[in-house]
Chains A and B, each alone.
Chain A
Amino acid sequence: MAAQTLDLYLVEELYTEEERMVRDAVREWVDERILPHIEQWAWEGRFPRELIPEMASLNLFGATFSEYGLPGLSNVAYGLVMQELERGDSGLRSFVSVQSALVMYPIMTWGSQEQKDRWIPRLAKGEAIGCFGLTEPDFGSNPGAMRTRARRVGNHWVLNGEKAWITNGSIADVAVVWAKDDEGIIRGFLVEKGTPGFETFEHKGKYSLRASVTSQLAFTDCQVPETNRLPGAAGLKCPLSCLTQARYGIAWGALGSALATFHAALDYAKTRKQFGDAPIASHQIIQERLVWMANEITKGQLMVWRLGRLKDEGRASFVQVSQAKRNSCWVARECAKLAREIHGANGVVNEYPVMRHLMNIESVYTYEGTHDMHTLILGEFLTGIPAFMPPREEKKS
């Protein structure tokens, strides 16, 4: 059975019985099916596709929806799922985040009935994999300036452009792609695998998220039927609201990574002996690091719990989501570094999970809005003054 994890403020009692059951089910699955193999997968740079049917049978995809026989989880339960998955590996959590928040969410929100009927059941069962194409090689923090274009020709749209850093890109059966039309309005398209003019290339040489597929998408006069356009989506606010969904999950997920590195460090400190027969956990400097980690994780747990409850009540704002994503990723990144220090040289080998989490969190810290961008979002909220180019439609550039 799964071990108990850090819970200094009895946050456990803030979860409902169902939320705990959901968390425990995923925790047990991660302990038994992921942790024994993840170092090998990460080392080989391989995403374990063979696990997709298992993830589907657990109902990990689209778990907050209740249509199409989906579980209808609360946002806190969904957050706990993300936490447990990322306690396993950030790449694994990313796969589920993308499928749920960046593919099923936009189809459910802006898709036609036919699009929903065609894709949601298959995505839920893991029979189809999805990816989300917004970021471009030259436009990360400023997606509104994207270069990808969609031109209407009869009953089709012709797409031209490139997308970069796309999780699941080369293994996806359907890509949710965002492109500007001739009027400069950003629209969403479902581009199916094998569509002429649609190619994918895997990003090679990643030191991070190695158990996850990351790709570039290229569109060259790629014809997409009008029936594959998301009819309800118009404007940058649509892809940004997908990101708010995904960032919410990351805020929980990153704490899972922090829990993993904290527990690895605590176990190591209690067993590693140095300067005599006492464990290094008896050293004040080691205790200070462990306390720092536990303290920040505790604050983070309370923050994401509150955010989840607000989200269930429909009161969560994107500013709050930015703050939680920013905080959790920072905490996880610092915890990974401290855990690495406590592990000494052992912190760099894959006998321990620390270096993998440390490398993974570098991506998570940067993707779905960099730490700095979230700082500026909060800065604008506090001062009323945007210190960056705010997200807005750019007319014909």
Chain B
Amino acid sequence: MKTANPFGQNIRPVGEVWVWVSGVGLAIGLFMIGFLLAVILWNGLNFFWPKRVALIELDPVGRTEFRDQKLVAGVIMARLALTPENLSPGNADLIDLAIEDPDYMREMQVYTGNRDVFANRNFAFLNMGDIVGITYPDDMLVLERTEWGNAIVRPQELRLGDGMIIAADDPSFSRQLRTLVNEVRERRATITRIERSQIGRLNARMSRERLEVRYLDSLEDPTPAQQAERASRVERIDEIESLIRPLMEQSALLRGMQREHSLAFTLIDGTERVQPLGDVINFYFPNKKGLFQRIGWFLFKIWEFITDYPREANTEGGIFPALFGTFVMTVLMSLAVTPFGVLAAVYLREYAKQGPLVSAVRISINNLAGVPSIVFGVFGLGFFIHEVGAVIDMVFYPRMVAINTPVFGTGGILWASLTLALMTVPVVIVATEEALAAVPRGVREGSLACGASKWQTIQRLVLPASSPGILTGLILAMARGAGEVAPLLLVGVMALAPSLPVDGMFPFVHLDRKFMHLGFHIYIVALQSPDTEATKPLVFASTLMLILLVIVLNLGAIMIRNHLRRKLTSSAF
């Protein structure tokens, strides 16, 4: 047979096998990214999706029970394979049973909610061999509550404050409940507003006065002036207290109104309970919802997650303060890193005499980007907090030093931002230098030939031309800074900060405050919450947010870079 190939059938390029192997390398690399992103995306989004509540019937003679019942209501979370090494001794025969029915070596993890009644447990683990039926009854109701997480119940009746009772099978039940829950929510918002901003503001003032009084009390022999000051401060504290009192009364009144209406329901084991509506944040009938309702609910939950404050020690609720803290810290960091990074780069590229010394400096700066972030954290702690902060306190807050309550001598958002700025300054310097180098020589020479001074050239031509490159560097620095957690552990991040770093209280930006951070939130909730299994979905959702933040910043940087490249190649002469 003749073939079109002049080399014939038998001659083949050497090493094609290895081309395939190297292709596998790339495939694995891409698979790893895809896999990671898919796991996070799936689990993160799954957190928001309203899942149906299953009613699971267990084999009456099987071993699995749930609170002495053979009936479990809950959301099916996962089906897990049992491994022999993890079996408890009493369950050894499951291995034999599994030969006939492999379901015996599998477990269903069911989120049962009702933590207040179910001994603080979130999940039931049911042997799948014992499950005889799964149904999705329409009347299952999920209540989101301010305490104890979700309740999964069958509603009985709505007991209104005026003694009226609306039974669950009343057609207007759902509508009535919605109206009441909305009413309660608005009132809760009012209470929060009163307590958080009005009382909170007064409290902040009061605690400042209290600290001053504590200082004055700590003096051994106060001068008359100091005694007078103490008296006036105590008076002011009383004054603030008298301002707070009516507010407290108002919020107590509102809180009382919150308990006016209540919902009676039964749990799956038949126990009847009454839930004051004041503690109900939201409710839904998961098994009644259609697809579009579900999508709407899903989007609503995402919005809620982003804008809500956390509840129950970060294990419920939203991540707003953490997102906000990350944002403020990143902005402060950018404010610090941009001028310094650009200044250093302009010096290195435009002013410094190029030689071995400058290239040594350049190499070192480049290498600083590879120094572990925790080293910067150690530096931030040792230098910013314990040296600079201590000096600031000594000069501006000598009284606070005297009573051992450091203001800047402890971790805070300023020190965290500066530490991260130091960490990311090499990124900005390197990017700016590259951008400056990319500005064609002709541009500079033309400008100088026209009689512009060096600074005029840099200011009017070089910097604008390289601004996209500088921006790229800045965005990369922000992406790195926003996701970095290790140095923050040392310089002032907090699991639950009482207040935001920026608020309506003078001086509006509180540089000395500790703050919450999305990355640290992930770390602390993932590792240190009481039931890490139960908080895992929430952490996945936070992780998704952080990943989105970082990827969006990075994509922005890449797009600017590509755009810049095109623009520069066309404008070169």
Does chain A bind chain B? no
